[in-house]
Structure 1
């Protein structure tokens, strides 16, 4: 491991923006448009606008937090600063689940496209074969090697890869718009279609999953050259550029599908194994199909590489809070990489791809979206809490109209979680609540006696919030078990979630510690500590 060291400040605004954009333009562009059309039909573009609006709200919240306190794995550390160990532990556990699975999703996407010409890798419906698993694990090992030597090499490599993989979707948009059929926008046959289909598409088709990547600028904040300026700009640029690209891709896909392929409606479209490549093939544009197949290796691989590195920072941050093994917070002095956390990231990513029932891209996407947004929803509460308890902290980026936008961001995050559905939320929230037994294991006896009452007082609202989301997910209209009927019809189920979220927002803000516990030993931002602490 080498002696403990500090993170290297090597990333500029372009690097941070491309870390976010490189995560946003990953496997999502290869599958999300087709999946969204199956849920919402020709109104899938509305789902993209809803997703973009929600994540701009959430991103603006983290723009203030990230510029104020640039921390490696900040999403895990901010909740503990404001609400103590219980909230810090719960968010850290969910973040571990969410982050570690994304690299697995990306290598699954690569294998899914590659299987169309190398059938020994498996199929989308049956999952990977043994050779397919070896292929996916080999890609994950490659990501580890790219991350192992230095963050500067990783950052510059990602900037080049993101530039390349941004060009292919642009080419696809231009070519497909030359085959645009306006009549396609009137075709019905989505499942479930209507408002429910639009909302469901946000969480389950890959739309919210695509926008999750904005967080990279926050997670790599400790390694930014000018974090106070560049983190907010990188978040905003990545979300806006990603939104424009995905809207163009969605319209291009909707308009270019041949009429014959839509005979049974959007829900029965046959382009499922490799949607854009299959579409190009059906239009006789074989050169575009081949380019897409090449990008189907580059885009998800680049994103998987970023997320393996991002998972490393989350595990480091969780260890830094004292609620995970301290060995994982050790940073190699020469490379500036927490190598122990990097190795664990690889192991966790491999575990995610092994169970056969989790090997399908869309199934994993629902789980990851819900889990990741559960780590985001705490941000608005932490921001409002710090405005209340620590107004003296320097805020290089200050979110205007915070008292309005911050609760709106919390409501948006809660709705995305709810639209992920009962099946997904039962897995993620149930697993998280059960994991509370580990919370006690990571606290020594003296610490437990001293902090149990105070930390449960500042964190009990989050436990009740999780239970509330489980209950409304079961009563609502999304992803219920086979044969089950909703007790609360749409859109009233979403209205109840929004109202409940508002109540929990103010409960969470008012439960914050009177004095936030911001660590004063972060190795990478001494100047910021001197100014703010």
Structure 2
């Protein structure tokens, strides 16, 4: 006799949405300190996007696309742009720390918001652990070049692949944690310095490689056809993940409605231009058939052109800085998303407690950093790392859908940025995300399905009863 009311209550709970006005009010009166300007927000997104991927990604994409890898970067950038435009509209409209989690809460309901947040936990947590693991490999490369020594594989290699515990991964995560605990403004300054260093490293690579560019290396330009160029674009899309990092700083931006959309689009533009320049310099300096060193493509180009290990050392330094910046910014984003979910009652309240002096969610930062450090140090990530891509694409797709929903439900609300050619552009964003998701292998889908199942168990066991919206009924 009680099953029907229970189902009604359950259906109401799953569909409950957080009003946009309430979200905006929370953003205006939250405990986080508003200290970040346009430059710092842009650097935050560049820091999260421009990571170790560019130092190895050419070695994976060039054999697939040939010299047309330059167009592959453009194709991947345009694909990312569809979602970036949607992020820009919603970040200006709902400037909260929760990023796409908060956008889904306002448009698609609590259950979808939880799923989106759970995907972001996978994306941010596992991706930063994967990147931290690579830090030890670049430390060893630098030690080999400078002193002819290296750390033992057992304490510097990837767990499960010759390594037992990745000590450098722990070190870089703890260093990022210390910076984050000092405050958002201090973390942003450190990240800005690191972003300048890694951009300078890639510009230096271009300057050197362009001296060896030969026109014959660009012919034929499409040796593997349009299919090869498209396949290269699919591989390269994931080197753009991270442009949404500025949206996690919605409550720490001084002028979020104006600066968040600009930071997201500006960072994506800068990264795309830099990627294309690196690609032109690399394939112009070295025949595409010789890109056989997938783990150090840029170092391979410079040592082939100059026959000197010195420049490989310079790139190793640049890669170390790049990874450090990614760890810092992505860890920051993870803590802010957990902050938003905690404030809504979907995860324990202690994760949204802010330190009165630094304005930092201290317990949140300690817990997330410890989790990531343990993950990077001891757990063989394997297909779990691959699943970060599918989680990211799922979140991107939801953001595009959220734009369509808000345009229909709240067409007259103030927007500091509007997606051009809507609804066509958001629909293309959804389709591109779906295409990329279904291009991933079956094992990745199995891992993703297991992660989603665990998330649903936690939501129905904890979040659905502790939700602030449930308490307000």
TM range, smaller chain: 0.7 to 0.9
Higher deviation after alignment, 152-161 or 7-16? 152-161
1:105 aligned residue (118, 130, 154): 130
Is the contact made by 1:23 and 1:210 (CA closer than 8 Å) also made in structure 2? no
Equivalent of 1:302 in 325, 331, 339: 325
Range 177-186 or range 65-74, more displaced: 177-186
Aligned residues: 433
Quote the RMSD (CA, aligned, Å): 2.8
**In 1, Cα distance between the equivalents of 2:374 and 2:189?**
29
- Structure 2 gap segments, 5+ residues each: 1-28, 145-149
Alpha-carbon displacement from aligned partner over 1:487-507 (angstroms, at most 9, x marks no partner):
xxxxxxxxxxxxxxxxxxxxx
**Which structure 2 residues correspond to residues 206-225 of structure 1 after superposition, within 5 A?**
207-225=236-254
CA distance 1:128–1:166, change in 2 (3 Å): farther
Stretch moving more, 376-385 or 338-347: 338-347
Change (3 A) 1:219 1:440: same
Measure how far apart 1:218 and its partner are: 0.7
Q: Structure 1 residue 278 and structure 2 residue 300: aligned?
A: yes
Provide, for residues 114-165 of structure 1, a one-character-per-residue CA deviation record: whole Å limited to 9, x for no partner.
333225245689846346x011111111110010111111111111221121
2:285 corresponds in structure 1 to 256
Query: Structure 1 pair 96/445, CA: closer, same or farther in 2 (3 Å)?
Result: closer
Q: 2:358 — aligned with what?
A: 335
- Distance in structure 2 (CA, Å) of the matches to 1:427 and 1:9: 38
| Structure 2 Cα separation of the partners of residues 55 and 278 of structure 1 | 28
Instruction: Determine the structure 2 residue equivalent to 1:238.
Output: 267
Residue 411 of structure 2, aligned match among 388, 391, 394: 391
Equivalent residue for 1:349, pick from 361, 365, 372: 372
Quote the residue 1:401 is aligned against. 421
1:154 matched to 2:177? no
- What is the TM-score of this pair, normalised by structure 1? 0.75
TM-score (norm 2): 0.84
Cα distance change of structure 1 residues 445 and 308 upon mapping to structure 2, 3 Å threshold: closer
Deviations 1:18-44 (A, max 9, x none): 111122221122111111113333332
Note the alpha carbon deviations across 1:250-298, whole angstroms, 9 max, x for none.
12222223x5xx6xx46xx442342222332233143322211211211
Distance in 2, Cα, partners of 1:111 & 1:53: 33
**Paired residues of 2:37 and 2:255 also in contact (CA < 8 A):** yes
In structure 2, C-alpha distance between the alignment counterparts of 1:442 and 1:16, rounded to whole Å: 34
Question: What is the deviation of 1:429?
Answer: 3.4
Cα distance, 1:246 vs structure 2: 0.3
**Contact 1:80–1:321 under 8 Å retained in 2:** no
CA distances 1:396-436 after superposition (whole Å, capped 9, x unpaired): 22223221111111112222222233322331234214532
Q: Distance in 1 between matches of 2:345 and 2:371?
A: 20
Pick closer, same or farther for the CA change 1:128–1:397 going to 2, 3 Å: farther
Distance in 2 between the 1:18 and 1:50 partners?
23
How far is 1:389 from its partner?
Answer: 1.5
1:186 deviates by 4.4
**By how many angstroms is 1:227 displaced?**
0.8
Cα distance in 2 for partners of 1:422, 1:177 equals 41
Question: 1:308: Cα distance to partner?
Answer: 0.8
Secondary structure of the corresponding residue to residue 420 of structure 2: coil
**Shift of residue 189 of structure 1?**
12
CA contact (8 A) 1:94 1:375 kept: yes
- Is the CA contact (8 Å cut-off) linking 1:5 and 1:332 kept in structure 2? no
User: 1:61–1:225: structure 2 CA closer, same or farther, 3 Å change rule?
Assistant: same
1:49 lines up with 2:74 in the alignment: yes
Q: Provide closer, same or farther for how the CA distance between residues 119 and 255 of structure 1 changes in structure 2, counting only shifts above 3 A.
A: farther
How far the C-alpha of 1:111 sits from its partner, in A, is: 2.0
Partner of residue 145, structure 1: 178
Q: Following superposition of structure 1 onto structure 2, how do residues 453-532 of structure 1 map, counting pairs within 5 Å?
A: none
Cα contact 1:148–1:337 (8 A) shared by 2 = yes
Aligned equivalents of 1:111, 1:419: Cα separation in 2: 31
Instruction: Check the 8 A contact 1:72/1:313 in 2, yes or no.
Output: yes
Distance change >3 Å, CA 443–CA 272, structure 1 → 2 = closer
Unaligned runs of 5+ in 1: 452-518, 520-533
In 2, Cα distance between the equivalents of 1:166 and 1:144?
Answer: 23
- 1:429 aligned onto 2:459: no
Deviates most, 306-315 or 106-115: 106-115
Q: Do residues 20 (structure 1) and 51 (structure 2) align?
A: no
Question: In the aligned structure 1, how far is the partner of 2:451 from the partner of 2:220?
Answer: 41
**CA distance, structure 2, for counterparts of residue 188 and residue 397 of structure 1:** 38
